[in-house]
Amino acid sequence: MKKSGKLLLILIFTMMMATSLVACSKKNNDNNKGGSSDKDVTQEDIVNVGVTDSLSSVNPLLQDGTEVVKYTTSLEFLPLVELNKDLEFVGQLAKDITTEDNKTFTIHLDERAVWSDGEPITSEDVVFTYLLWTSPEIGSVGMSMEKIEGTGDDGYAEKGATSLSGVVAVDEHTVEITTKTEMALHSFKNIFGRYILILPEHILGEVPREDLLSYDWFNAPTVVSGPYFIKDVDLNHYVTLEANDNFFLGAPKIKNLNIKVVTASQLLAGLRSGELDLVQQTTGAILQEDYDSVRALDNIKVYDGTPVTNQSIFFNVERVTDVRIRQAIMYGIDRQTILNDMLKGQGEVIEGFLASAGPFYDDVTPTAYNPDKAIELLNEAEADGWDRSTQYTFYVNSGDTTFVNIASFIAAKLGEIGLNVKINTVDIATLLSVAGTGEFDLLAVQYTYTPVDPYTDISWLLSKGGWTRYHNDIIMDALYMTQKSTDIDEIIKQYRIVTDITQQDVPMISAYIISAIGAVNNRLKNVVPDVYGTFINVNEWEVVK
């Protein structure tokens, strides 16, 4: 989701706890071992990345599934693996991750990996990090820890646990993780490889676990594994980062990097003036109406992103209980006109969760706009007692001004067929909170279902505990089969079952798939913005003088 994701893995409850962090603007000063000095740094040496969502936290234990939090925190604390722009998993702290039975996964760490203070990154750091995520004293929610042997159904180990049966250090650079049931290798790499950011046991091991979610150290960490330290942070406005000159993959050439939170309407002006150097597709939403103007800028190179981000509309099926109402809304949205006229054809219309760029996509004819069919369904529902005066709340991300306009168009068209839809525009933090509490009828958000691992998000979203409050045994069985099989044709077949039932029961609607653009200033070298992989080589980025 723009978070991604989703991402993938939405940690609603931990997100609400993030507001307890008190030192959002804590200065790092000069206490970062391995950090760069501000001496002789000029404005020309600083690179500014424009993002359009504020951050909920910079504590890796408070991942909320948004791309801006995931990428900012992983600039400090590396994951085991990451996806590149070709949707391939590449090593970060791990050289590789393997399995022979889709239950026991072997992680081989990169022997070169060291913390910024020179201490080696070892298996003990991996085990320590998993213990934190499964600790009831910390109380983090999510990251699918309930899948790991040694945890309860809630994903927690025993209080005070110093080991976990499913996470074992084989030697200094090898870890074995065992899951309770089969898990596809691509799902394991995506969840545990990309989103669990490894933390330093020798620094945090003595900190009481119950203090870690609100631990001020994360606002200005003294030891990191990644290319940058945080120097200063204001969650609603900026994160200032300083290079880790001891980064084991090579000291960053750019010594100062800023994450700047701006509105979508400010991106064009910032790119034009040079105030912003980079806008990446999933963290910065350039307005559709500004695409042509951004492409025309002489100082900017534009990149079309891989079309995988899904503008999803979710129903809370416990509030919109009549499937005919959900179907009527689906028939009442003119998705093709939205794509052609309001998005200038920049994307595609699909059904369900899977974009055509993903490896498990199966061509499904999208439901066509049919207001007559929608009216027929509403009439049937009314004959069975549905109240036509019912008002449906539709929550929309205020930071996505393109969809705010589209939502108004959708509400107007639904009004023409007899549906009363009230739009509530809120910031992304409030939107995710509302999604978690279920206090909505419809809710829209850009959600990047990782193409190589749609299982993780779909299985959560289409569950009683997910945003939709929806459950279907056939869907659950099909999703489980995607984790057991290694035959791609069989996996595609199972995802097709999910798509077909979603199209019938309508717990969600894909409004469209976004083919967003990214932009980079010509003064930067070795920077290619895309949906995935933009920051993998951040230490190789360079300012051309």
Output the CA–CA distances (angstroms, integers) from residue 388 to 231, 284, 379, 424, in the order listed.
55, 39, 9, 20
Paired tokens of 334: 């003119």
Decide which of 325 and 344 is more confident.
325
Higher pLDDT pick, 53 / 527: 527
- Residues with Cβ within 8 Å of 140's Cβ and at least 6 positions away in sequence, in order, are 11, 14, 61, 62, 132, 133, 213
pLDDT of 60 above 70 = yes
Q: How confident is the model at residue 9 (pLDDT cuts 50, 70, 90)?
A: very low
pLDDT-derived band at 43 (thresholds 50, 70, 90) equals low
CA 21 from centre of chain: 21
| % residues pLDDT > 90 (the chain) | 83
Assess whether pLDDT exceeds 50 at residue 29.
no
Q: Is pLDDT at 412 greater than 90 in this prediction?
A: yes
pLDDT for 40 equals 54
Predicted pLDDT at 121: 98
396 Cβ contact partners less than 8 Å away, ≥ 6 residues apart: 403, 404, 407, 423, 424, 425, 426, 431, 443, 444
Residue 408 has pLDDT above 90, yes or no: yes
Q: How is domain 309-514 classified at the CATH fold level? A: Dipeptide-binding Protein; domain 3 (3.10.105)
Please give the C-alpha separations between residue 539 and each of 4, 43, 232, 483, 502, in angstroms, as whole numbers.
24, 19, 20, 35, 42
Which residue pairs, CB below 8 angstroms and at least 24 apart, start in 144-148?
144/9, 144/191, 144/192, 144/456, 146/180, 147/179, 147/180, 147/181, 147/183, 148/177, 148/178, 148/179, 148/180
Q: Is the pLDDT of residue 325 over 80?
A: yes
- State whether CATH 3.30.1300.10 applies to domain 77-218: no
Residue 237: phi and psi, rounded to 5, are: -135, -40
Which of 37-41, 295-299, 395-399 tops mean pLDDT?
A: 295-299
Cis status, amide bond into 4, omega within 30 of 0: yes
First CA to last CA distance, the chain: 36
According to CATH, the topology of domain 226-305+517-543 is D-Maltodextrin-Binding Protein; domain 2 (3.40.190)
pLDDT in tens, 462-516: 999 999 999 999 999 999 999 998 899 999 999 999 999 999 999 999 999 988 8
Q: Which token pair is 159?
A: 């209080």
Phi, psi torsion values for 95, nearest 5 degrees = -75, -40
- 26 against 169, higher pLDDT: 169
Phi and psi torsions of 51, nearest 5°: -125, 155
CA distances from 259 to 46, 347, 409, 424, 532 (A): 11, 27, 33, 28, 17
How far is it, in rounded angstroms, from Cα 222 to Cα 44? Answer: 26
Asked if the model's pLDDT at residue 11 lies above 80, the reply is no
pLDDT of residue 405: 93
pLDDT at 160: 92
DSSP 305: P
How many Å apart are CA 77 and CA 252, to the nearest integer? 15
> What is d(CA 295, CA 247) in angstroms, rounded to the nearest whole number?
35
What's the mean pLDDT in 221-239? 97
Q: What is the mean pLDDT of residues 339-365?
A: 93
Q: What pLDDT shows up at residue 427?
A: 92
Q: In this predicted structure, what is the pLDDT of residue 533? A: 95
Say if residue 126's pLDDT is above 50.
yes
Does residue 530 contact residue 281 with C-beta atoms inside 8 Å?
Answer: yes
Confidence of residue 107 (pLDDT cuts 50, 70, 90): very high
- Residue 344: its pLDDT value, please? 86
Measured CA angle at 493 (ends 487, 494), to 5 deg:
95
From the list 157, 6, 160, 143, the residue with the least C-alpha distance to 62 is 143
Handedness of CA 40, 43, 45, 46 (dihedral sign): positive
Residue 254 in tokens: 């750019």
Mapping DSSP to helix (H, G, I), strand (E, B) and coil, where does residue 299 land? coil
For the chain, state the CA radius of gyration: 23
Q: Return the half-sphere exposure (C-beta side, CA atoms, 13 A cut-off) of residue 545.
A: 8
Residue-level pLDDT at 26: 36
User: What is the residue-averaged pLDDT of the chain?
Assistant: 91
Tell me the whole-structure pTM to 2 decimals: 0.81
pLDDT surpassing 60 at residue 28: no
- Among 383-392, 445-454, 531-540, the minimum mean pLDDT is found in 445-454
| Residue 482 identity (one-letter amino acid) | T
Reply yes or no on whether the pLDDT at 258 is more than 70.
yes
* Whole-number pLDDT of residue 41: 55
| Beta-bridge partner residues of 283 | none
Which strand (E) or helix (H) includes residue 437? helix 428-437
Separation of alpha carbons 21 and 317, rounded Å: 34
Give the count of beta carbons closer than 10 Å to the beta carbon of residue 143: 24
Whether the pLDDT of residue 20 is over 90: the answer is: no
Domain ranges of the chain: 77-218, 226-305+517-543, 309-514
Model confidence band, residue 25 (pLDDT cutoffs 50, 70, 90)? very low
pLDDT at 63 > cutoff 90: no
In the structure encoding, which two tokens stand for residue 221, read together?
A: 């960490």
Give the per-residue pLDDT at 486: 86
- Cβ proximity of 3 and 63 under 8 Å: no
Characterise 246 by phi-psi region: left (phi > 0), alpha (psi -120 to 50), beta (else): alpha
| Residues making up the chain, counted from first to last | 545
- Does the pLDDT at position 51 exceed 50? yes
- Under the banding of pLDDT at 50, 70 and 90, the label for residue 27 is very low
Cα separation, 248 vs 354, in Å, equals: 37
User: Does residue 2 carry a pLDDT above 80?
Assistant: no
Token pair, residue 409, equals 């168009």
pLDDT tens readout for residues 171-217? 999 999 999 999 999 999 999 999 999 999 999 999 999 999 999 99
Percent of the chain past pLDDT 70, that is, above it, reads 92
pLDDT value at residue 5: 37
Concatenated DSSP letters for 392-416? EEEEEETT-HHHHHHHHHHHHHHHH
